[in-house]
Amino acid sequence: MPKCKITVLRRMFIEDLANEYCANPQICSAFKDGQEYLLDKPQKPADFCGSAWDSISNYVFAFIYGAESLYGNWMKDKNTMIACCNDGVRPVIFKIEKV
């Protein structure tokens, strides 16, 4: 069974929206840029944000079970997907790779 590597590429913070709508406006502290996870089964790592996992787990499942070319020619490398969590003011961008 293939393994899947998740890398935190970037944590973003949309300050104007956060200041207007969030009770505690700050950048996501659940991850660090460059942080990596190597998975050999489609299970959320213990320290991984549940909401972020819900947003990207379908790509992890697909790669671990052997999928290739997610969304056709969307990505240059058929074994890579770029995805993000669904937090509209503090999105985290992930690189998900089949390794």
Q: Rounded CA gap, 89 and 35, in Å?
A: 20
- pLDDT for 19: 94
- pLDDT for 8: 98
Burial class (CB in 10 A: 0-12, 13-18, 19+), 92: buried
Q: Which of 32-36, 74-78, 82-86, 91-95 has the lowest mean pLDDT?
A: 74-78
User: What confidence tier does 90 reach under pLDDT thresholds 50, 70, 90?
Assistant: very high
Which tens digit of pLDDT belongs to each residue from 11-70?
999 999 999 999 989 999 999 999 999 999 999 999 999 999 999 999 999 988 888 777
The H or E element that residue 61 is part of is helix 50-64
Model-level pTM? 0.92
